[in-house]
Amino acid sequence: MRKQKGALKLSPTMQRAFESFAIGPDGNARIGTGHPLDYKRFYAFVRVCRYHHRRLSDVEVSQLLRAVGFPEDEADEWGSIFDHCYEVLCTPIPQYAISRERDEILRSLKRPYRKPALRNGVGA
């Protein structure tokens, strides 16, 4: 990745995840491949950023990608996707979903144990 004056600083782990997504083995930007592994690498980058509680703006992600050679439109698109993915990871599970699952577990625990039904006079 080319260093720019005032470039955004990433932790070493975030830098590795970013480079895994953005830079191919030949050292050039992974532009426009659309390969499923590109998405997996990108999602890993988003998760690493979330793990480190480092929310980058879509503009910052776009700048990082343009710095390694992505075209502006593609970099902007990935920046927007980053913002959406990060938001999904930050959204808590709704309380009603947790309550419903908890209630189902508690109901199943309160059911009395029943011996299996007999079939043809033999235990199941």
DSSP conformational letter for 28 = S
Mean pLDDT of 24-35: 79
What is the separation, in whole angstroms, between the first and last Cα of the chain? Answer: 65
Model pLDDT for residues 61-114, shown as the tens digit of each residue:
999 999 999 999 999 999 999 999 999 998 887 776 677 777 777 777 776 666
AA letter at 118: L
Bridge partners of residue 29, in order along the sequence: 23
More confident residue, 26 or 5: 26
Domain residue ranges of the chain, discontinuous segments joined by +: 12-90
Task: Name which residue leads in pLDDT, 31 or 23.
Answer: 23
Residue showing tokens 């938001």: 87
60, 54 Cβ separation under 8 angstroms? no
Location of structure tokens 């532009």:
31
Residue 23 is given by DSSP the state B
Choose among 38, 46, 36, 44: nearest CA to 84: 46
Instruction: Round the average pLDDT of the chain to a whole number and report it.
Output: 83
pLDDT, residue 6, reads 55
Q: What does 29-96 look like in DSSP terms, one character per residue?
A: B--S---HHHHHHHHHHHHHHHHTT----HHHHHHHHHHTT--HHHHHHHHHHHHHHHHHHHSPPPHH
